A and B are shown apart, each in its own frame.
Chain A
Amino acid sequence: MSDKTSDVILVALMALIMLIIAYPLYYVIVASVSDPFDVQAGKTFLLPSQFTLEGYQRVFSNGNLLNGFLNSVKYTVIGTLYSVVTVYITAYPLSKKNLPGRKWISIFFIITMYFGGGLIPTYLVVKETGLMNNMWALFLPGGVGMGNVIIVRNFFENNIPKDMIEAAQIDGADEFTTFLRVVVPLSRSIMAVIVVFSMVAFWNDWFTALIYLNESQAPFPLVMRGIVISTDQLTKMTGGMTHLEATRIGELVKYASMIVAAAPMLIIYPFVQKYFEQGFMTGAVKG
Chain B
Amino acid sequence: MSSLAESKVLETPKKKAPKKAPPHGKTLGRRVTENWQLYLMLVIPVVITIIYKYIPMYGIQIAFRDYKAAQGFFGSKWVGWEWFERFFSNRNFGRMIENTIKLSVYGLLWSFPVPIILALAINQIRFKRYKRVVQTVLYAPHFIAIMVVCGMIRIFLSPNGGLINILFNSANPVDYLTEPGAFRTIYIASGIWQDAGWGTIIYLATLSAVDPGLYEAAKIDGASMWQRIRVIDIPELIPMIVLQLIMAASGIMSVGFEKVFLLQTELNKATSDVIAVYVYQQGIEKQQFSLSTAVGLFNTVINVILLIVVNKIAKKAADVSFV
Closest Cβ of chain B to A46, distance in Å, is: 13
Residues of A near B141 (CB, < 8 A) are: 21, 25
Does B137 interact with chain A (Cβ within 8 Å)? yes
Does A171 interact with chain B (Cβ within 8 Å)? no
Contact A280 B56 (CB under 8 A): no
Within 8 A of B (CB), among A121-135: 121-126, 129
Interface string of A1-35 (1 = CB under 8 A from B): 11100110011011001101110110110000000
Does A151 interact with chain B (Cβ within 8 Å)? yes
Interface of B, secondary structure class, is helix
Interface of A, secondary structure class, is helix
Interface string of B101-139 (1 = CB under 8 A from A): 000000000000000001001101111001001111111
Does A277 interact with chain B (Cβ within 8 Å)? yes
Q: Which of A204, A266, A277 has the most CB of B within 10 A?
A: A204
Closest Cβ of chain B to A147, distance in Å, is: 3
Contact A174 B37 (CB under 8 A): yes
Contact A98 B44 (CB under 8 A): no
Closest Cβ of chain B to A254, distance in Å, is: 7
Does A64 interact with chain B (Cβ within 8 Å)? no
Within 8 A of A (CB), among B246-288: 257-258, 262, 279-280, 283-284
Within 8 A of B (CB), among A169-199: 174-176, 179, 197-198
Contact B147 A229 (CB under 8 A): yes
Question: A287: nearest residue on chain B (CB-CB)?
Answer: B12
- The one of B6, B144, B292 in contact with A262, judged by C-beta atoms closer than 8 angstroms, is B144
Does B230 interact with chain A (Cβ within 8 Å)? no
Closest Cβ of chain B to A108, distance in Å, is: 7
Question: B12: nearest residue on chain A (CB-CB)?
Answer: A287
Does B8 interact with chain A (Cβ within 8 Å)? yes
Does A249 interact with chain B (Cβ within 8 Å)? no
- The one of B4, B9, B166 in contact with A145, judged by C-beta atoms closer than 8 angstroms, is B4
Residues of A near B133 (CB, < 8 A) are: 18
- Provided the pairs A117-B53, A144-B49, A270-B136 are in contact, do residues A201 and B296 lie with their beta carbons within 8 angstroms? no
Does A75 interact with chain B (Cβ within 8 Å)? no
Residues of B near A266 (CB, < 8 A) are: 140, 143-144
- The one of B3, B59, B225, B297 in contact with A3, judged by C-beta atoms closer than 8 angstroms, is B225
Could you tell me the distance between the alpha carbons of A200 and B163 in the complex, rounded to whole angstroms?
Answer: 28
Interface string of A103-126 (1 = CB under 8 A from B): 001001110110111111111111
Closest Cβ of chain B to A255, distance in Å, is: 8
- The one of A27, A41, A98, A204 in contact with B145, judged by C-beta atoms closer than 8 angstroms, is A204
Contact A93 B39 (CB under 8 A): yes
Pick from B87-95, B179-187, B200-208, B310-318 the stretch touching chain A.
Answer: B200-208
Does B48 interact with chain A (Cβ within 8 Å)? yes
Within 8 A of A (CB), among B205-236: 205-206, 208-209, 224-226
- The one of B57, B146, B205, B225 in contact with A117, judged by C-beta atoms closer than 8 angstroms, is B57
Closest Cβ of chain A to B23, distance in Å, is: 6
A-B contact pairs, 17 of them (CB 8 A): A1-B224, A90-B45, A117-B56, A147-B8, A175-B41, A204-B146, A206-B145, A221-B147, A228-B148, A228-B151, A254-B151, A265-B144, A269-B139, A273-B135, A280-B10, A284-B202, A286-B10
Chain B contact residues, CB within 8 Å of chain A: 1, 3-12, 22-23, 28, 31-32, 35, 37-39, 41-42, 44-46, 48-49, 51-60, 62, 67, 73, 118, 121-122, 124-127, 130, 133-141, 143-148, 150-152, 154-156, 160-161, 163, 166, 170, 193, 197, 201-202, 204-206, 208-209, 224-226, 240, 243, 257-258, 262, 279-280, 283-284, 289, 292-293, 296-297, 300
Chain A contact residues, CB within 8 Å of chain B: 1-3, 6-7, 10-11, 13-14, 17-18, 20-22, 24-25, 27-28, 39-42, 86, 89-90, 92-93, 96, 98-101, 105, 108-110, 112-113, 115-126, 129, 140-145, 147-148, 150-151, 154, 174-176, 179, 197-198, 200-201, 203-204, 206-207, 211, 221-222, 224-225, 227-229, 254-255, 257-258, 261-262, 265-266, 268-270, 273, 276-277, 280-281, 283-287
